[in-house]
Structure 1
Amino acid sequence: MEGVFYEPLLTWGLRGFLALLFATAAISKLTAMEEFHGVVRNFRLLPDAASRAVAMVLPVVELAVAAGLMITALAVPAAWAGAGLLALFGVAIAINVMRGRTQIDCGCFRNGLKQQISWLMVGRNLVLTGLALAIAGLLPVTGGGGIADLLVGLIAGAVFMLLYFSASMLGGIAARQNQTLSPKGR
């Protein structure tokens, strides 16, 4: 790949999207720490004492990943860390789906946006992990770009985040409607 340079606009868009994703998730967890501790505990993958520690540390790590993605010198290690977190979240969700525990909340976002876990969510995390890995792989072979690349890329990342968040909200609404309409929900 020597001599090949990729468009910096693409990497800024991906970096902006993932940074917003991690920052939004972290802030929503920090504003509802007790609720998030309950979500971590409800996954039943850690002892109670460890679940509290994870609930306290995870949002801080997510904020660090978000900040690192925006600092060019830290973006590659932040992308690797983000990929690791997303893969870990996917594994935790998959374990609970295999256990038949699909009624639990994923804990992705707080503030009333509860989402039940499913194989679709595992697939979503796989795609997000792939995006983080793409950033880690593309950044070393991406041209420097200018301020226009940065600004347009960040705007594109924000638009991607709005689309992602909207799709998540619509999925949550559809799931709640299906629960209400199903014989179990009555």
Structure 2
Amino acid sequence: MTVTREPMLDEPPEGTARRAERREAVDFDGLYHAHFRSLTLQLTAYCGDLSHAQDMVQEAFCRALARWSRVSRYDDPVAWVRRVAWNLATSRWRRLRTAQAWLHRQREEYVPGPGPDRVALTAALSELPPHQRRAVVLHYLADLSVAQIAAQEDVPEGTVKSWLYRGRTALAAKLTTTSEVNHHD
């Protein structure tokens, strides 16, 4: 007769630890296979380089694996991996930006001065009242809508339209006069 021992209440059944380890590994593998491609596509769209995106997603999954006992208990482990990958991409972008700024400071570049049209426009804009100048610049150079300018300036849309009309009219008069003067010289 064979006697089998029943496990104590606080003792896990035999093999439970091994099954939990296998389940954990399968969960990570499944997560990796299910999401590596989509995360890579997202990072590629963000950073513009497939190989760098693959490297960052791979690094994020490596970090997740190193902390898998904790990450696997999160409600959405993919969100954790995605956040790590995006943080890596942002850090890479910042490092590149800093390096480019340093390189830019190391070399001298010749930048030609503004042309006569730019000088005339800048001079004409400087003669407009501040509200009109801001409205013209925001609308025509920053591509903001009348509603966006009104919200930013905390005025009604009709006021912005009035500023734009008056600013265009004044600029047209000043630039026409400047153009006529330049053509007569």
The two structures have a TM-score, normalised by structure 2, of 0.25
Higher-Rg structure is 2
The two structures have a TM-score, normalised by structure 1, of 0.25
The structure showing larger relative contact order (alpha-carbon pairs under 8 Å, at least 6 residues apart) is 1
